[in-house]
Structure 1
Amino acid sequence: MTPNNSDFLNAPATDTKSHLLATGYKLLANKGFTAVGIKQILDTAGIPKGSFYHYFASKEAFGEAIIKGYFEHYKNRLQAISNQDITAQQKLHSYFQYWYDTQQTSCDHEKCLVVKLSGEVSDISDPMREALAGGYMQTIHWISEQIEAGWKDGSVPTADNLSAMSIAKRWYYAWLGASLIAKTSRTNDSLTEVWQMTVSELGL
């Protein structure tokens, strides 16, 4: 099972706050934060302006809530991978295989929120930047745990003078950077490079 956030999009229509977040998630992942106004969010969701400000003090607070919700569901998906009865190497391979496959195709709301916002909100919103940074570390910790598990079960090659956390950070930063470059260049070269690096370091 690989991470996705489709359940984040399927909020019950009777839950106004969840409906707003799901609608905003789709819009922000497709268009970015600055390109989407509150009016477009409200029109798309079919919700009056007063309802928005009942739940969110500002568009910035709304964006922060979307990012936190995204990573909360992402955490559940990572746990689902952890629960599979396969080696740690296979879990890591499955995780990065999904990243490699999805980022090569057109960017949609299922897979591009973090990539799109990472290059956009850092200079315009500290709360959103901090929410993204927290989400990065959540994923990095999971990768580090799998590396350590792989060392224990013998499925992942050990590395001289490098901690599991250091390797996890290098891999995550490389993948996020490669995804940003792929989006900018509209080629898959950067993704292919980090995929080959990761597979090699996983001993595959």
Structure 2
Amino acid sequence: MRKPTIEMRQHILGAAKSLMTEKGYTAVGLAEIVAAAGVPKGSFYYYFKSKEEFGQALLEGYFDDYLSTIEGMLSGEGSASARLQAYFRFWADKQCTGLTDGKCLVVKLAPEMCDLSQDLREALKRGTDAIVERIAQCVRQGQVDGSIAATKPAIELAESLYQLWLGASLLDKLNHDGKSFEIALGAMAHLLS
């Protein structure tokens, strides 16, 4: 029995996500994607006009899922400062695991995708802007509840935090020891005080 269109499209995206997280966008070819999904090559082109369109759909799905995951962390109970710390510890835990599931696709794919196409770059920008805005909302809440003393505009603090953690993630890919994240936690505390 054939899977419904939306379900099959999601199946192909899901099958390729771990490949892309492990190997990168350009290192994974169409043959590997369809093999992982267990579908014929023609099925890929039925659901996606090109690998670029596939890449955009992969990023959009990733960001939708990621934002849903972090929403509870950044808007839950406790002070905003504590919620930010919990979120960034979650980030570090996901990046330090040996599993590809849950790792940040931005860290893995952004450097290569941004140079390949304007559409892929824009998909990454929309997604990262949404993450930064969600962090900024939490920072604003912390400035109101008094758990974040920094008076710098929330969006600037959020951008600084996101950049800090992207950098820590890249350094951890080199070192594999988690120290970059501990340093980032200390720098974050300084930025928010």
- What is the TM-score with the length of structure 1 in the denominator? 0.85
Query: Greater shift after overlay, 162-171 or 188-197?
Result: 188-197
Mapped contact 1:30–1:112 kept (Cα < 8 A): no
Counterpart residue identity of residue 201, structure 1: L
Q: Which runs of 4+ in 1 moved over 6 A?
A: 11-14
- SS of 2:113's partner is coil
Displacement after TM superposition at 1:24 (Å): 1.2
Query: Residues 147-182 of structure 1, C-alpha deviation per residue, up to 9 Å, x if partnerless?
Result: 1101111111133xx211111111101111221122
Q: Which residue of 1 aligns with 2:63?
A: 71
Find out whether 1:164 has 2:154 as its counterpart. yes
Q: Which residue of 2 aligns with 1:183?
A: 173
- Aligned residues: CA RMSD: 2.2
Q: Which residue of 2 aligns with 1:147?
A: 139
Displacement after TM superposition at 1:190 (Å): 2.9
Displacement after TM superposition at 1:67 (Å): 0.4
Mapped contact 1:12–1:18 kept (Cα < 8 A): no
Q: Percent identity?
A: 37
Q: Return 5+ residue gaps in structure 2 as ranges.
A: none
Counterpart residue identity of residue 163, structure 1: P
Displacement after TM superposition at 1:86 (Å): 1.8
- SS of 1:119's partner is helix
More helix by share: 2
Displacement after TM superposition at 1:129 (Å): 1.5
Find out whether 1:193 has 2:190 as its counterpart. no
Q: Which of 37, 42, 49 does residue 57 from structure 1 map onto?
A: 49
Aligned length: 191
